[in-house]
A and B are shown apart, each in its own frame.
Chain A
Amino acid sequence: MTTRSAPITGELLRLKEEIHQYALDYGLDFYPVVFEIVDYDTINILAAQGGFPSRYPHWRFGMDYDQLSKSYAYGLQKIYEMVINTDPCYAYLLKANHLVDQKIVMAHVYGHADFFKNNAWFKSTDRSMMDVMANHGTKIRRYMERYGQDKVEEFIDRVLSLETLLDINVLFETAEVKHSRNNKEAEFKNQFFHDDDEDGRSNQLKSFMRSKLFNPETEEPLPEREEASVVRPKRSYISPRDIMMYLIEHAPLKEWQADILGILREEAYYFLPQRMTKIMNEGWASYWHSTIMTQKALKSSEIIEFADKHAGVMAMSRQQINPYKIGIELFRDIEYRWDRGMFGKEFNDCTDMHTRENWNTGAGLGKEKIFEVRRTHNDVTFIDEFFTREFCERMQLFTYKFNPRTSRHEIDTRDFESIKSKLLLSLTNFGQPVIEVESGNFGNRGELHLVHHHQGVDLDIGFATDTLRNIAGIWSRPVNLTTIQEGKEVTYIHDGKEMKPLK
């Protein structure tokens, strides 16, 4: 396995040093970047595992690998690069790529590396994730040896149903907040379970292992935890949207189950900032590969190939927006506008098209502004603040919807307001429904109660049913979900076998 990737040498190493220097000159700021060269099979493996060489055993990695290998074999898709948000930052180059491709990729990677280090939403990610993931793998493998692969895998399958039920605010849990939360927890547990606590484990570990709630001899939960406890004061320091954490704290889990839930939660939160900044991150990296290549690194003999590759990455699609394209154009637009002072009250109030178009105060703030934007924004705020009417028209955007009469998807409108609101809606809460825990003692029966905050689109009830079944399997008591279907509020109850509307 260790022989699957190799450090770069020779010409590539020289190129890396060259591009590294350009990136520094432009003011990019990043952790050291380690480039490794890999073959196509290895890059498929890495991509299937979210970029990491070692993960826990699970069929879904095999599934992604299956799909990537097939598309590669049929020549339909090829992964050019991958970069991992760690310190040092690991990036993989595909062995079979041309030198020009490798240059583009390197320049692109430095853009990502800068974004990872500086964007606010990445502030709390664990930069030693390479080791953490490998440890997670070892732990889960051990649980599988002990309790059986099927049993452990089945539990993981259930937890994966919850993987999207995250609270983005948890990303801003600073060390202090975490610390005080752990303290409160300890206090709480001492108060309610008066047990010995001096086993020397760190607070962090305990928070999801809850080791002290178990009798280490039998590995069974202590009697009072056999079912979701009925008497439970509401604890405000767990976010109601952080459902995985809620289950770790309140569901009657065995130690290994709580541990796995904690592991998967940690991994889900690690990937969350990347899901929230797809447009910005790709836009920023593309902006820099384009800038570095065209202003510095490109030889005249390479222009055609670069243009071809770059155009491929920027290709527009009629079915979905290309984050690379929208991202890079938006950054360029911001730079242009701030260079010419096209912002602020005076500009916004100006209604004369001609004056607006030729507006130029010579402000020259473009570079400064885009660096600031990459530090403070995520996709939602990025679009909300900088997606203007002019930009929307220039990008030829439209919304489409399904026409049942022709059974085709058809262009619906090019109206700026509707496009923007549709875009924002698709990005809000990283495109997932907002689900909150309302109570762990619903109807005083120890049932879990979840509430869907309806924002105009109904849930897919088939999927919701199966998801609830998986949650009920973890909670071990019925689970209720309140949502809106076709304009009416309904509450469903799932008892682990079937789902019914609650009378």
Chain B
Amino acid sequence: MDHPIKRDHSRFRNIVKGKIRDNLRKYVSNGEMPLPKGDGSYKIPMPSIETPRFKFGDQSQGGTGQGDGQQGDPVDGQEGEGEPGEGEAGEGEGNKELEVELSLEELASILGEQLELPNIEPKGKKTMLSTTDKYTSIGTVGPDSLKHFKRSYKEALKRQVATGTYDPENPIIVPIKSDMRYRSSTQKVEFDNAAVVIYMMDVSGSMGDEQKEIVRTESFWINLWLKSQYKDIEIRYIIHDATAKEVNEHTFFRTRESGGTLISSAFKLCREIIEADYNPAEWNIYPFHFSDGDNWSTDDTKLCLDILENDILPASNVFCYGQVESRYGSGQFYKDLSGHYKEDHDKVILSKIKNKEAILDSIKDFLGKGK
């Protein structure tokens, strides 16, 4: 039987997510996602709920510390000495934020855990086989460069003890040829799978910096997750106003055009890219489109739906449209799409992203179906 604290734990998780006890939500501090700090380490926020109590206000009262330094020297900035927690009953408050170094894989697994994302079942699997060598075992023959010193000396020690030539007073161990151990490899067959993500973004005048920041953050997490799911992944970027062009990542996030919006231009380019470079039988294709929902004309919207229906959807795993709220955007395109593709359509996922806080929900919308 599980310990009862697991129930307390899931109750706490549900409060944090706002599922129950809504009145407590305002005491919940910190979001859920790790924040990159830029130097390879991430801040992992620890959600916590602080019970209101009478307490002293104001940081200006400071505190007492220990160490070197002159008056005026800063005392913060070298945190994380990792004071060993010799825990004592009845103790509580501590630092509510962790700073750790994480690899991208670890980060992806945190993301998957937090958002409860299903693993993706890639299509086109088993079409490409590849073999890799993994050095996981030990053999008695091999080249010197793969010699395993520790194991070799262990063998030598065993032999010397067994033959009585080992002297604890003078513990010299000399390995002979039969003691030598080498790392050896086993061949593993793996199935390759590959994916391409095609980002399309409306860069017309109505998309401001804030909107682009949202798209950038969102695409970072989407890439992270998809990279954790596929062995090979390619990412293509398309920007468009009334015309579309393919750009590199840097330009994608920094360009700001003015002028009108023809979404069909991007869809056409997307179709061309798929046709030219990615055979849908081998590739998992993920077109993402972000805009504020403005399109020039209803005729163009009709054209968009045509391309989507006839060319893009049959080739893709799923098509995702994220509508970023902006002051100028009408949000019409979302309505047009949702009129056409109902919410439970299995290849078209629509999501509205109101503000930064909504990014996680929208990622969950996009990737939560496991496609």
On A, residues with C-beta under 8 Å from B are: 1, 4, 42-43, 45, 47-52, 54, 57-67, 70-71, 74-85, 108, 150, 153-154, 157, 160-161, 163-165, 271, 274-275, 278, 281-282, 309, 312-313, 315-322, 324-325, 395-402, 404, 406, 408-414, 419, 422-423, 426, 432-433, 435, 452, 457-461, 463-467, 469-470
Q: Which residues of chain A are within 8 angstroms of B10 by Cβ–Cβ distance?
A: 62
Q: Mark the stretch among B57-65, B162-170, B238-246, B292-300 that contacts chain A.
A: B57-65
Decide yes or no: A150 and B20 within 8 Å by CB, A317-B66, A409-B62 being known contacts: yes
Q: Which residues of chain B are within 8 angstroms of A83 by Cβ–Cβ distance?
A: 88-89
Decide yes or no: A399 and B21 within 8 Å by CB, A45-B5, A77-B85, A433-B56 being known contacts: no
Name the contact of B83 in the complex, choosing from A47, A153, A315 (C-beta under 8 A): A315
Interface residues of B in 133-159 (CB under 8 A from A): none
On B, residues with C-beta under 8 Å from A are: 1, 3-5, 7-13, 15, 20-21, 23-24, 44, 46-49, 51-90, 92, 94, 96, 98, 100
Q: Which residues of chain B are within 8 angstroms of A165 by Cβ–Cβ distance?
A: 54
Q: Considering only CB atoms, which chain B residue lies closest to A160 in the complex?
A: B51
Are A400 and B75 in contact, with the CB atoms below 8 A? Answer: yes
The 10 closest A-B pairs by CB, nearest first: A62-B8, A466-B52, A460-B57, A401-B62, A51-B89, A62-B12, A271-B90, A62-B9, A316-B66, A79-B87
Are B5 and A61 in contact, with the CB atoms below 8 A? Answer: yes
Are B24 and A157 in contact, with the CB atoms below 8 A? Answer: yes
Q: Considering only CB atoms, which chain B residue lies closest to A163 in the complex?
A: B53
Q: Which residues of chain A are within 8 angstroms of B23 by Cβ–Cβ distance?
A: 154
Q: How far is the CA of A313 from the CA of B49 in the complex (A)?
A: 29
Q: Which residues of chain A are within 8 angstroms of B49 by Cβ–Cβ distance?
A: 59-60, 63
Are B8 and A398 in contact, with the CB atoms below 8 A? Answer: no
Q: Which residues of chain A are within 8 angstroms of B58 by Cβ–Cβ distance?
A: 457-458, 460
Are B53 and A161 in contact, with the CB atoms below 8 A? Answer: yes
Name the contact of B66 in the complex, choosing from A78, A82, A281, A325 (C-beta under 8 A): A325
Are A57 and B7 in contact, with the CB atoms below 8 A? Answer: yes
Q: Which residues of chain A are within 8 angstroms of B9 by Cβ–Cβ distance?
A: 62, 65-66
Q: Considering only CB atoms, which chain A residue lies closest to B56 in the complex?
A: A457
Q: How far is the CA of A223 from the CA of B354 in the complex (A)?
A: 52
A93 to chain B, nearest CB (A): 12
Are A432 and B54 in contact, with the CB atoms below 8 A? Answer: yes
Are A1 and B3 in contact, with the CB atoms below 8 A? Answer: yes
A69 to chain B, nearest CB (A): 9
Are B89 and A79 in contact, with the CB atoms below 8 A? Answer: no
Q: Which residues of chain B are within 8 angstroms of A150 by Cβ–Cβ distance?
A: 20-21
A222 to chain B, nearest CB (A): 30
Q: Considering only CB atoms, which chain A residue lies closest to B23 in the complex?
A: A154
Q: Which residues of chain B are within 8 angstroms of A409 by Cβ–Cβ distance?
A: 59, 62, 74-76
Decide yes or no: A82 and B89 within 8 Å by CB, A63-B12, A76-B82, A320-B64 being known contacts: yes
Name the contact of B8 in the complex, choosing from A57, A163, A321 (C-beta under 8 A): A57
Q: Considering only CB atoms, which chain A residue lies closest to B88 in the complex?
A: A274
Q: Considering only CB atoms, which chain B residue lies closest to A324 in the complex?
A: B86
Are B83 and A62 in contact, with the CB atoms below 8 A? Answer: no
List 17 contacting pairs A-B, 8 Å CB cutoff, sorted by A.
A42-B3, A52-B89, A57-B11, A76-B80, A79-B87, A319-B75, A324-B86, A397-B66, A398-B69, A401-B62, A408-B74, A408-B75, A410-B72, A411-B69, A412-B71, A433-B56, A464-B54
Q: Which residues of chain A are within 8 angstroms of B54 by Cβ–Cβ distance?
A: 164-165, 432-433, 435, 452, 459, 463-464, 467
Q: How far is the CA of A322 from the CA of B10 in the complex (A)?
A: 33
Q: How far is the CA of A57 from the CA of B12 in the complex (A)?
A: 11
Q: Considering only CB atoms, which chain B residue lies closest to A309 in the complex?
A: B84
Are B21 and A395 in contact, with the CB atoms below 8 A? Answer: no
A312 to chain B, nearest CB (A): 5
Q: How far is the CA of A457 from the CA of B82 in the complex (A)?
A: 30
Q: How far is the CA of A48 from the CA of B9 in the complex (A)?
A: 10
Other A-B pairs, 7, CB within 8 Å; known A54-B4, A66-B47, A271-B90: A50-B90, A59-B15, A150-B21, A318-B75, A397-B64, A401-B60, A410-B71
Are A322 and B66 in contact, with the CB atoms below 8 A? Answer: yes
Q: Which residues of chain B are within 8 angstroms of A395 by Cβ–Cβ distance?
A: 66
Are A463 and B11 in contact, with the CB atoms below 8 A? Answer: no
Are B90 and A461 in contact, with the CB atoms below 8 A? Answer: no
A192 to chain B, nearest CB (A): 31
Are A457 and B57 in contact, with the CB atoms below 8 A? Answer: yes
Q: Which residues of chain B are within 8 angstroms of A400 by Cβ–Cβ distance?
A: 62-65, 75
Q: Considering only CB atoms, which chain A residue lies closest to B106 in the complex?
A: A74
B58 to chain A, nearest CB (A): 7
Decide yes or no: A82 and B55 within 8 Å by CB, A399-B63, A400-B62, A408-B74 being known contacts: no
From B21, B47, B74, B86, name the one whose CB has the most chain A CB atoms within 10 angstroms.
B86
Are A157 and B64 in contact, with the CB atoms below 8 A? Answer: no
Q: How far is the CA of A81 from the CA of B88 in the complex (A)?
A: 8
B45 to chain A, nearest CB (A): 10
A248 to chain B, nearest CB (A): 19
